[in-house]
Structure 1
Amino acid sequence: MIINKILNVDDYYFDVFMSISESLTGFSVNELQSTGLAEIYYKHILGQIETATFIEFLNISKNVLENSYSQDQLKNAITAEILSNPATQEIAQSVITLWYMGTWEGAYVNDLSYKEGLVWNVMHAHPPGAKQPGFKSWSVKPVNSNS
């Protein structure tokens, strides 16, 4: 079973949301929580789509997570049962976009969601105008720089 236990939220489905977010984004639950947006995103989604639709997505995700005993098996199950399923595909893609870009249906959830988008970590960059890299950072060559 590949579900992490998170103790700071009482909602049973929050654990499933964080575990499937980990699998969809490739970032650990700890990394996702360190953005400070986990609970905000969960509550935001609950306010944006019908609860029954979100719970169906989470129940399918829970089954995929519980029935996968290796990372390869999990990856294949997510592809087959979530990303290829029209009923869950759009929600999964929206969850990925939410974590990476901080947006839901093209709008930022809040100011922090722009600053903490996972895209900045992937690019080894910082969000312009929001979170500067620090004094003398210009003197350090960028990651993967050939010059």
Structure 2
Amino acid sequence: MNIINKILNVDDYYFDVFMSISEALAGFTVNELQSTGLAEAYYTYVMKSLEAATFVEFLTVSKNILEKSSDEDQLKKAIQTEIIANPGMNDIAGKVITMWYLGTWEGAYINDLSYKEGLVWNLMHSHPPGAKQPGYKSWNIKPVNSYS
């Protein structure tokens, strides 16, 4: 019970592990993830959506991977062997990645901001239609990677 109470404190070490493994899985820096304004909301949402023991196991495996890896290549290999190759861990990792990119968990939006702040929009150099407009006269600027 003590470890569960510890996780409920978002200022806790486990939050840092969650953000660090999210960075490794999503390919965006912790600062970029934090700038969505959703880091704490996502952390608490995942915690409520998974059984406590399952979330603790995912965070413990993640912590061990992060501590053992001295460079990017080691981290990628460790994620591959200890998270991706493990069906249960792979399922959680996939849900975490989808959450950051699309703002959804098992097909449902997490909150009002999650659609707007999905990382997919940054990746596409776009904006979420109907939610965040691109800006005045933006139609006059050629898209990124435009070959026309």
Same fold (TM over 0.5): yes
Partner of 1:42: 43
Q: Percent identity?
A: 71
CA distance in 2, matches of 1:39, 1:118: 16
CA distance in 1, matches of 2:51, 2:145: 43
Partner of 1:12: 13
CA distance in 1, matches of 2:52, 2:34: 22
Structure scoring higher RCO (CA < 8 A, sep ≥ 6) equals 1
Q: Report the structure, 1 or 2, having the larger helix content.
A: 2
Partner of 2:4: none
1:143 aligns with 2:136: no
- The amino acid across from 1:64 in the alignment is I
How far did 1:10 drift? Answer: 2.0
- Aligned runs of 1:12-91 on 2, under 5 Å? 12-91=13-92
1:109 aligns with 2:107: no
CA distance in 1, matches of 2:46, 2:69: 25
1:98 aligns with 2:99: yes
- The amino acid across from 2:22 in the alignment is S
How far did 1:86 drift? Answer: 1.4
How far did 1:111 drift? Answer: 1.4
Computed over aligned residues only, the root mean square deviation of the Cα atoms, in angstroms, reads: 1.1
- The amino acid across from 2:126 in the alignment is A
- The amino acid across from 1:68 in the alignment is S
Partner of 1:5: none
- The amino acid across from 2:48 in the alignment is G
CA distance in 2, matches of 1:47, 1:96: 17
The unaligned stretches of length 5 or more in structure 2 are 1-8
CA distance in 2, matches of 1:86, 1:62: 18
**How many residues end up aligned between the 2 structures?**
140
- The amino acid across from 1:120 in the alignment is W
Q: TM-score, normalised by structure 2?
A: 0.93
CA distance in 2, matches of 1:42, 1:105: 15
- The amino acid across from 2:85 in the alignment is S
The unaligned stretches of length 5 or more in structure 1 are 1-7
User: What secondary structure sits across from 2:146 in the alignment?
Assistant: coil
Partner of 1:3: none
CA distance in 2, matches of 1:82, 1:36: 26
User: What secondary structure sits across from 2:134 in the alignment?
Assistant: coil
